[in-house]
Amino acid sequence: MMLSDQALDALFKRLHLANTRRAWRELTRRAEQDEWSYRDFLGLLVSEEIAHRQQTRLDRLVRRAHFPFLKTIDDFNFIHQSTVRLSLLGSALAPEFVSEGRSLILGGQPGRGKTHLAVAIAYRAIQNGFDARFVTAAELIDDLSAAFRTGRLADALATYIHPGVLIVDEVGYLTYGTDAANMLFHVVNDRHRRKRAMIFTTNKAVTAWGRVLHDEDLAHAITDRILERGRMLTLDGPSMRTKHLGLDDPTSPEASDQPARISGIQAPEFPEPTADESSPFRPPDSREYGWIVPIDSRAAYESRGTNHCSGPPNSADTRPTRTAARRSRRT
């Protein structure tokens, strides 16, 4: 039975074998040229289709996850970390992290790589066959608060409950509304009951979440559910964003309390006037020009009822007036 190229294309299209439809002509040419067996040709054709579908699936799930960037665990630099090692993340990178509904809180100061690790773990979960969702704490709380006011809370919750892995980024970075604890509790409680994995990044201690979320009791209930099947890792080391400046190194010149400099200028290019007698920029003494009226002379003028602005000064006040000073300079 001989089929034309158009007939084969129609069959592949009907079976939704998009990659096979594109690749079968080239593979057929190579098979004839290298004298492949039918088994080898069929195996390569199917392998190409599976690989293409896996990559398409990864791309689709990454888009749905709304990652701010795509990072893998291989991209993370553990050299500057003294508390976190790749061996500590082994369980978070395994399929059981998602299937058993585990959780992770990544703490530390800004720039330590918390979001990088969270995205890398979620991407590994996607590679293991699960889906993921990334959202900042502020976005989640604002979205659920708006949905609650319009009576759509149940529909909005589904967005954050269904994914296999949920990343809630930047807990504690911004100020939230008074209902923040209620909204976050809905998500955490539902995911905890359904054994759905969660990852949180924060720059605040867990004990401070009550002040952040405006409710100590609900904050304790939230962290209690997260850590029942989870743990907390604190990232240290320098900030990866400003490591080149050495701001976290106490021995670095940039970290010392030195005056700010512009373009590497060590000293001001145009010094400000000072009162130093030896400085060539010393301002003139205003008393030399009669700009200041001494208190004792002013009192003597007032006691005699004399207007010092009209006529020359008397013998009781030897201070020259402005007019007299100008005349003396002219002569």
pLDDT at 321: 54
Asked whether 109 and 137 are in contact (CB, 8 A), the reply is: no
Q: How far is Cα 197 from Cα 156, in angstroms, rounded to an integer? A: 18
Asked whether 201 and 114 are in contact (CB, 8 A), the reply is: yes
- Name the percent of the chain in helix, strand, coil, to the closest 5: 50, 10, 40
What is the rounded average pLDDT of the residues 240-268?
A: 57
The band of 328, judged by pLDDT with boundaries at 50, 70 and 90, is: low
If you ran DSSP here, which 8-state letter would residue 207 be given? G
Asked whether 19 and 49 are in contact (CB, 8 A), the reply is: yes
Q: Are strands 103-107 and 165-171 parallel, antiparallel or unpaired?
A: unpaired
CA distances (Å), origin 283, targets 118, 270, 275, 289: 62, 15, 7, 13
pLDDT at 249: 59
pLDDT at 324: 54
pLDDT at 256: 47
Residue of 57, 38, 49 whose CA lies nearest to 12: 49
The structure tokens listed for 2 are 């001989």
pLDDT above 90: percentage of residues in the chain: 63
pLDDT at 83: 84
With H, G, I as helix, E, B as strand and everything else as coil, classify residue 134.
strand
| N-to-C CA span, the chain | 126
pLDDT per residue over 47-101, tens digit each? 999 999 999 999 999 999 999 999 999 999 888 887 888 888 989 999 999 999 9
With H, G, I as helix, E, B as strand and everything else as coil, classify residue 165.
strand
pLDDT(306) > 50:
no
pLDDT at 309: 45
pLDDT(183) > 80:
yes
pLDDT at 284: 52
With H, G, I as helix, E, B as strand and everything else as coil, classify residue 136.
strand
What is the rounded average pLDDT of the residues 20-46?
A: 93
pLDDT above 70: percentage of residues in the chain: 74
Residue of 176, 177, 163, 229 whose CA lies nearest to 202: 176
pLDDT at 330: 54
pLDDT at 293: 46
CA distances (Å), origin 192, targets 39, 48, 222, 228: 48, 39, 10, 9
Q: How many CB atoms lie within 10 A of CB 116?
A: 20
The lowest-confidence range among 20-24, 194-198, 235-239 is 235-239
Asked whether 154 and 193 are in contact (CB, 8 A), the reply is: no
pLDDT(252) > 70:
no
